[in-house]
Structure 1
């Protein structure tokens, strides 16, 4: 096989990311590895790591990302992706270290603050979760995910009325998220407003059929699950 020229490598990288975007992770992995067969290329190593992550080969993804971070400790996307892999492995302490590093490097990264808030929420650290989501909102008032996160924190603390207010803002910004309607329904149940809860559950069902079982439970008068 002829040695790859720079244009050849650039074209392969483009094709690999196209396959990745189309969720053809086997193909993207194959193309990134073809590039790396002729020498290290940071973008290809990163693409390979992302492909491995999506293919659920977490150990190999972490190895690749750790190599990248050793050679370039100033690239925020490496920490962000590694945090996502650690999170998928339920290694939340390591994920937390990477997200804290990331938000320290990019203090105006709204997505990073939302991810940090979500991680704190998973870890039941509701105060820090609220602070992280609040930081995201301070940076971007139109971030529906951040308002949803604030709502989930309040809901977890059994502050039903406050959580509904946050969910309402999130829905004004993005009214196509079934999960927000489901969470709002849970808050309505806690707030003893079954009629409003049924309305939210119906809307969630219209957006995502995965909630059908939950809807049937409510129709039959059963209590809602703790986690929707």
Structure 2
């Protein structure tokens, strides 16, 4: 224990000299940089914005610095970011990966034993990293099931793109529930688009042009839903 008087004297000396803790020097001594990388595909989305705020608040309170990457579904952007994290000796990565990437993209840090946590999405086949994800397949089954209970038989899934664990699970849940209810599955029942406002509007219009015309939409996320509501009502 440090005596309160000693602590006071040290703090006064720090204030007088303008001393600033040298993180780089400390990293050489401890082998830790207290840098955590966070890479999402759309930090402007409310879901990821709120997660990012919670991450920053928690890590900041622990004395860590957060490096942020908005990869925008671009695998090269994520790869460059991971290269930077490796160069700075980051202590961890929280990531929602873009479509069609493999664990190879993580190798510059994973081979050094840097902890990796997936959120929302994960890379198939990577069982070493921890995950904080939602029950996408179950959620989509419940959404489709509710519409079927209400009498709808002509459903379409709006939004999402192949190549992510989230899309694969949501499509599997949607398709599984339809087939369970005796509704034939066709790839035309999935109107693919990036889960963004304008693209959701275009997907909704394409769905309304189908023959037979769907009586209900199951939307990939809230951004797609907002624009699909506009098309359905107007």
- Normalised by the length of structure 2, the TM-score is 0.29
Higher helix fraction (1 or 2): 1
Larger radius of gyration: 2
- Normalised by the length of structure 1, the TM-score is 0.29
Higher strand fraction (1 or 2): 2
Q: Which has the higher contact order (CA 8 A, sep 6+)?
A: 2
